Amino acid sequence: MAMAGEPSAPGGIAPDMPEHFQEQDASFDHVRRDVMIPMRDGTKLHTVIIVPRGAHGAPILLTRTPYNADHMVSFAASGNMGPIMQGYDNMPDVIADGGYIRVIQDVRGKYGSEGRYVMNRPMRGELNGTSVDHATDTWDTIEWLVHNLPESNGKVGIIGVSYDGYTALTALFHPHPALKVSVPMNPMVDGWMGDDWFHNGAFREEMLPYIYEQDGTPKNTATWWASQYDSYDLFLRAGSAGAAGRVRGMDQIGFFRQILAHPAYDTWWQLQAMDRLLPREGLTVPTLLVHSLWDQEDNYGAVALYYALKKDPAAASRLWLAVGPWNHGGEIHEASTMGPVKLRADTGLYFRKTILEPFLAHYLKDGSIPLPARVTAFRSGDNVWESADALPPRACAADCVTLHLQPGEGLGTQAPAAGAGVARYVSDPAHPVPYVARPVVAKDRPDANWRNWLATDQRNMAARPDVLSFTSPVLTAPFVVRGQPHMHLTAATTGTDGDFVVKLIDVYPDEVADQPEMGGYQLMISADILRGRYRESFAQPHPIAANVPLAYDMVLPLANHTFLPGHRIMIQIQSSWFPLYDRNPQTYVDNIFLAPKEAYRPATVSVDIAQSWMEVHGTPMKVP
């Protein structure tokens, strides 16, 4: 029986749930608006707008994301802006405290937006024959915002980490006049040369789950599955990276098919590389690039784009760079450590308050607010911030120091005698070198060490017979390394293909008084991989001539580090880094993604000691 005042209902039971529930948000410090903004082709994109209550003349901070706009403003059940944005790609101490109107938009085809998703949708042109790309979507979004947000001052900044950093870059192509500033943080720039998908031709196999979940369904409802706790086992048993994807039905995903079809750096990749495209477009909007020294996902893009844009004086006049001791996106959080390394201060807070906040405010609020230095970089080891007009040039000049491999696994600044011999190891694809100590925990598990793996101890790898470690004597004075180390490696292999991994490592003293667990720690400062088939050309692979010493040149990621007195310098060399990178069969095949099991064979690698060295921008090395 229905109670008095309740409407009758079939069966005599009145519904508990109102047809349209009205949330009571008058006490909130903000007003939320969910809108569908139309693009020029008629597609509507879901956009969440958070306006500080009572705002007037407030600037707009926009982020365009494939990672669920609704989730990115729902980190807490709170009526205050700070708590609801205390998570990925938000910095409440900058955005909420700064009085910005926060706008987050789902890119087309993801979550609440209409349209079909394309991974890193190419710019209009040869690879995109439609009338729309991320640049046009950004333009149309800004056009709508400046005409429909009466609380704003009509000035817009775009900001984002990783993929959202990529969309912050695409906004710079034919930018809207209201776009006054862009802050691409840890952006995806070139997926083949050194960001998410490949590094110098070696495929980042650990990214397969991301591709599966991100590109399989609009709302990431398809979940990568694994029947092994240890990803090392999972990918080893699968065989090739192509086989690992195909058994999970990834042939249905267009981006996976493209990766299989384009293993080399052909025009399909080159026409998407932002460090090639943006310099041709020209930089007309002030831009702050942000780079992390221990970025486990995109440690190529920001620096490569910086060097590419610096060549043009007009672009250089609108370019800033911040470099910090962070993992991927670590600058948006508390950052007083990098893995086990103590940084002695919250470097994330320093970046946000000293660099980011005044940069945004200068262009979006008050042009009299001083700008940060053109380059602000944290130097690890000493744990100090430095400012400069520019990064060191990529090629070593007057401050170049050469670290020579020495017989007996030594390392020093004196070149060894000609014919100093070789150092050998056997690289066996059946027992590849792991990139972290096993078990290799899938990066989406709560106990994974993915975020800080670049700062993990390398002693487990140094103990393997298939890893060479060349170590200097104990330093008696600080040795500062800046810029990108350049490795000149000469090696022969009994195979017809092969990979080479090179690491520059800071070896801690045997005892560290205030942190005993760091005694003897081997901290990577810079490291990367080169797939041997691309030693002559990234676009045209070639087999390696077996048993012939050949040169392999590698430019490693940016370093800014002081090797302190009492420490030692180490260079490690190996031929696998698994399963971060797929295994090289070491027998030349046309496409490693499709390599049959019988192609995977052991090979003996011989490193020519006298013909192998690393060049760095550095101070003279002093040892006893």
Is the domain defined by 30-187+273-335+344-379 classed in CATH 3.40.50.1820? yes
Spans of all domains in the chain: 30-187+273-335+344-379, 400-617
Percent of the chain surpassing pLDDT 70: 98
Cβ neighbours of residue 624 under 8 Å, at least 6 residues apart?
A: 473, 474, 476
Tell me what the mean pLDDT of segment 96-102 comes to. 96
Beta strands in 40-97 (DSSP E): 44-52, 58-65
Percent of the chain surpassing pLDDT 90: 93
Q: What is the pLDDT of residues 140-153, one digit of tens each?
A: 999 999 999 999 99
Bridge partners of 58, per DSSP, are 152
Structure tokens at 253: 């995903």
Q: What is the pLDDT of residues 101-152, one digit of tens each?
A: 999 999 999 999 999 999 999 999 999 999 999 999 999 999 999 999 999 9
Mean pLDDT of all residues in the chain?
96
pLDDT the model gives residue 549: 98
263/316 Cα distance (integer angstroms): 33
Angle of CA points 570, 573, 576, to nearest 5°: 135
319/289 Cα distance (integer angstroms): 8
pLDDT the model gives residue 2: 47
Does position 8 have pLDDT exceeding 60, yes or no? no
198/246 Cα distance (integer angstroms): 19
φ and ψ at residue 279, rounded to 5 degrees: -60, -30
Q: Which residue has the tokens 């692979």?
A: 541
Domains 30-187+273-335+344-379 and 400-617 fall in the same CATH topology: no
The topology under which CATH files domain 400-617 is Jelly Rolls (2.60.120)
Does position 408 have pLDDT exceeding 80, yes or no? yes
